[in-house]
């Protein structure tokens, strides 16, 4: 049975990670009803076979709620780890010397294997090595192709296969591991909408993934390495969307550096017209508590005021004790912030100048008309989704109703700010365009009789990238009567 589902009242999207606490069809439906607009599948955990039923359950939402569903598959990326210890665990004393080398012999408190030859080739004297999510800090005092001699600046316990971060040098590693390539092929075969690439350092890191995806999904770059900041604009231009992955970014940089960088990444992504997701530890306390701290609520609100397209839950919805409540809280924060009379001013602190194209000029004009004339919605017809992205970049004060004949496009736009996406047949004439726009606006509840709406499309129809029409129309009482008669007949 299909349930009618009104568009969300808020414009920021909520991206919920699925995991052991939330990967059943019943829980996925509850998360959607609580406010989840899109779902993240973390390829770092579990095997591929376990993901198949999860993906099917997400797609079933389309039949139940008559709304496109959005799936992001997040690749693990190249994880750097130390080797194993003879006793399984050692304690590194601050001020001591510790060596990392190629020797596979189990280590002790003086040395351990580092099974990543590319690190030895890239390392420089004076660079830091961070172990176990930054809990231990080593400083390189000698380095060559076979070993790194370090001084322990911050000591502590270290056990087998703990993670290693290298914040001070660019390690020339392939962005995709063998596991990532397998997971990417699986995700594409399952028809996911977005592929997230971890530990992007350079725009070149995106090239192989882009080639393997072959246009079958959108590509999202996770910004979690300091090296990525140095080439941020190039990376943003080379991808379809961006994630501010504050977890690893906060390990490799001082914590106080992360908030200004978050604002910079959001601003750059918005200016260049790419959807941007703010992620990691947003409501961390809700993993074990039914309510968040006030500081966490303020953190989420800041991302919304900055104009982020989406805010993401990680362990809160994947493995926490309160997954539905954490999504409901994200939804409530979004609603509250966007009701603030100052919200509209604050999200326009970022200046998004239109490119010198007809489509960009019309998108800016649509926002200006919506601010000047009383309209209920901006309705755009799009094949590729580019028109919707241009309009969303302007952050208009009214809903964006996106009509597309491509189901894949409707699904991918689920991470885009302010859009309500409808999969529908294409139109063949100007008259049909206007009539369909009015009818679906009524059906989706974004307009009523007497309201005016803005309609954007491209002529000739069925030609991607040809947006050149902006039309303001009014929905009459007769059109409402006709719609209600059609609805009754169905």
SS3 of residue 288 by DSSP:
coil
Q: Which of 59, 81, 84, 135 is catalytic?
A: 81
Q: For residue 306, what are the contacts with CB-CB under 8 A and spacing of at least 6?
A: 262, 263, 266, 267, 278, 346, 347, 349, 350
Cα angle for residues 11, 17, 18 (degrees, 5° grid) = 130
222 is catalytic: yes
139 is catalytic: no
Cα angle for residues 223, 201, 392 (degrees, 5° grid) = 40
Chain-centroid distance of CA 151 in Å reads 38
293 is catalytic: no
**Contact predicate 276/242, CB 8 Å:** yes
Rounded Cα distance between 459 and 291, Å, is 51
C-alpha R_g of the chain: 25
Q: Which of 10, 40, 246, 270 is catalytic?
A: 40
Quick check: bond before 460 cis, omega within 30?
yes
Task: Tell me the backbone φ, ψ of residue 47, rounded to 5 degrees.
Answer: -95, 170
Rounded Cα distance between 41 and 318, Å, is 9
SS3 of residue 339 by DSSP:
helix
Q: Which of 222, 246, 367, 436 is catalytic?
A: 222
Rounded Cα distance between 163 and 140, Å, is 17
Length of the chain: 490
Cite the DSSP H helix spans in 23-99: 25-34, 48-65
Residues designated catalytic: 40, 81, 222, 280
């Amino acid at each position: 049975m299909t349930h009618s589902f009104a568009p969300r009242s808020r414009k920021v999207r909520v991206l919920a990670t699925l995991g052991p606490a939330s990967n059943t069809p019943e829980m996925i439906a509850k998360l959607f009803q609580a406010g989840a607009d899109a779902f993240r599948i973390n390829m770092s955990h579990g095997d591929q076979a376990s993901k198949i039923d999860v993906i099917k359950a997400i797609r079933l939402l389309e039949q139940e709620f008559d709304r496109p569903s959005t799936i992001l598959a997040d690749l693990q990326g190249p994880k750097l780890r130390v080797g194993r210890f003879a006793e399984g665990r050692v304690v590194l004393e601050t001020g001591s010397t510790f060596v990392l080398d190629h020797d596979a012999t189990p280590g002790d408190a003086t040395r351990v294997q580092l099974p990543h030859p590319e690190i030895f080739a890239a390392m420089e004297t004076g660079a830091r090595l961070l172990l176990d999510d930054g809990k231990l800090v080593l400083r390189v005092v000698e380095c060559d192709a076979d070993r790194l001699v370090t001084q322990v600046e911050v000591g502590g316990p270290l056990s087998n296969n703990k993670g290693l971060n290298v914040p001070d040098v660019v390690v020339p590693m392939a962005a995709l591991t063998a596991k990532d390539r397998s997971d990417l092929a699986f995700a594409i075969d399952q028809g996911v909408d977005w592929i997230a690439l971890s530990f992007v350092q350079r725009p070149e890191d995106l090239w192989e993934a882009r080639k393997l995806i072959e246009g079958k999904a959108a590509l999202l770059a996770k910004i979690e390495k300091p090296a990525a900041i140095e080439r941020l604009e190039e990376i943003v231009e080379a991808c379809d969307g961006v994630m501010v992955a504050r977890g690893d970014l906060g390990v490799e940089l001082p914590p106080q550096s992360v908030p200004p960088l978050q604002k910079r990444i959001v601003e750059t992504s918005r200016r260049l017209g790419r959807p941007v997701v703010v992620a990691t530890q947003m409501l961390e306390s809700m993993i074990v508590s039914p309510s968040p701290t006030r500081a966490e609520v303020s953190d989420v609100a800041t991302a919304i005021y900055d104009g982020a397209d989406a805010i993401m839950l990680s362990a809160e919805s994947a493995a926490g004790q309160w997954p539905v409540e954490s999504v409901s809280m994200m939804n409530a924060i979004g609603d509250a912030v966007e009701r603030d009379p100052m919200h509209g001013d604050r999200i326009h602190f970022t200046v998004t100048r239109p490119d010198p194209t007809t489509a960009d000029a019309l998108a800016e004009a649509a926002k200006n008309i919506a601010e000047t004339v009383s309209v209920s919605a901006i309705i755009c017809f799009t094949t590729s989704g580019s028109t919707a992205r241009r309009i969303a970049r302007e952050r208009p004060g009214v809903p964006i109703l996106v009509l597309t004949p491509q189901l894949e496009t409707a699904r991918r736009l689920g991470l885009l700010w302010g859009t309500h996406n409808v999969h529908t047949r294409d139109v063949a004439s100007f008259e049909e365009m206007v009539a369909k726009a009015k009818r679906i606006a009524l059906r989706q509840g974004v307009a009523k009789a007497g309201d005016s709406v803005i309609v954007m499309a491209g002529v000739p129809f069925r030609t991607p990238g040809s947006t050149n029409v902006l039309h303001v129309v009014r929905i009459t009482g007769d059109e409402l009567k006709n719609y209600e008669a059609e609805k009754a007949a169905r």
